[in-house]
Amino acid sequence: MNYPNGQKKQINQQNKSVKTNNNIFSNRGMSLEEDINTTNTYYLETDIAIIHKKPTPVQIVKVNYPRRSAAMITEGYFKQASTTDYNGLYRHRYIDFEAKETKNKTLFPLANIHDHQIRHMEKIVKHGGISFIIIRFAAYDETYFIPAEKLFPHWHDKLNGGRKSISYEKIKEEGHIIPFHYQARVNYIKIIDRLYFH
């Protein structure tokens, strides 16, 4: 990590403050989902974009209606999402993406994405939306923006018996590292600006 004004050296000499500073200025300790939620709240409150996470789909089987209190779900099951996790609106464009975190240091396993999600993303692109996937390599604390158009060939390669993952090197090459911002912790709008609005 590069600090301005030779601050790195100074911090290295004060062991305790290193950790504190890291916790403030890096992503460590927060999950990708938490970071994206924080980012979307920031975009919403500053009127930059309107992006929401879709609720987790639940199949509700039994509901109790106790008197004078809220209805309680007593039997429910998680359902598989039929689309991606996030969608919304930015600068008149429809935005649609999925986010995945991996502990793997050398590759991103394609099993993390479902076939129907890819089909959904293909439709979005065809109909003029902006679609992408956000991948975090937790080991490096690096988060990448992969346009859907770059993801599809890997997916079809896999379907045709090719490799079942995308190498870390390939992601560095075809993806775009997402800058960190204090309030927009995964500041993906910067990449959208560069790729789709320049």
Which residue stretch of 21-29, 76-84, 156-164, 165-173 sits at the interface with its own copies (rule: CB under 8 A)?
A: 76-84
| Number of residues forming the site for its own copies (CB under 8 A) | 40
Is 98 annotated among the ligand-binding residues? yes
Locate 120 and state its tokens.
Answer: 């959904």
H-assigned helices in 46-147: 115-126
Query: Cα–Cα distance between 58 and 79 in angstroms, integer?
Result: 5
At closest approach, how far in Å is the CB of 123 from its own copies? 5
Q: Is 117 a known ligand-binding residue?
A: yes
Task: State how far the Cα of 162 lies from the Cα of 110, in Å rounded to an integer.
Answer: 11
Is position 2 an interface residue for its own copies (rule: CB under 8 A)?
A: no
The C-alpha angle with vertex 45 and arms to 41 and 51, in degrees rounded to 5, equals 50
Our finding on whether 82 is near its own copies (CB under 8 A) is: yes
Q: Does 67 bind its own copies (CB under 8 A)?
A: no
Residue 17 or residue 82: which is nearer to its own copies going by CB? 82
77 binds its own copies (CB under 8 A): yes
| 49-79 b/e (C-beta count within 10 Å ≥ 16 → b) | bebeeeeeeeeeeeeeeeeeeeeeeeeeeee
Over its C-alpha atoms, the chain yields an Rg (Å, rounded) of 20
Could you identify the residue written with the tokens 């919304």? 88
| Residue 75 binds its own copies, judged by CB under 8 A | yes
Confirm if 180 and 35 have CB atoms less than 8 A apart.
Answer: no
d(CA 176, CA 170): 11
Among 7, 46, 58, 177, binds its own copies (CB under 8 A): 58
Least distance (Å) between residue 92 CB and its own copies:
3
- In the list 35, 96, 97, 165, the residue contacting its own copies (rule: CB under 8 A) is 96
By CB under 8 A, name the one of 11, 94, 138, 170 that touches its own copies.
Answer: 94
Q: Which amino acid is at 44?
A: L
- Choose the stretch contacting its own copies; rule: CB under 8 A; options: 6-14, 77-85, 163-171, 177-185: 77-85
Q: In the complex, which residues of this chain contact its own copies (CB under 8 A)?
A: 44, 47, 49-50, 52, 54-58, 60, 70-79, 81-83, 87-94, 96, 120, 123-124, 126-129
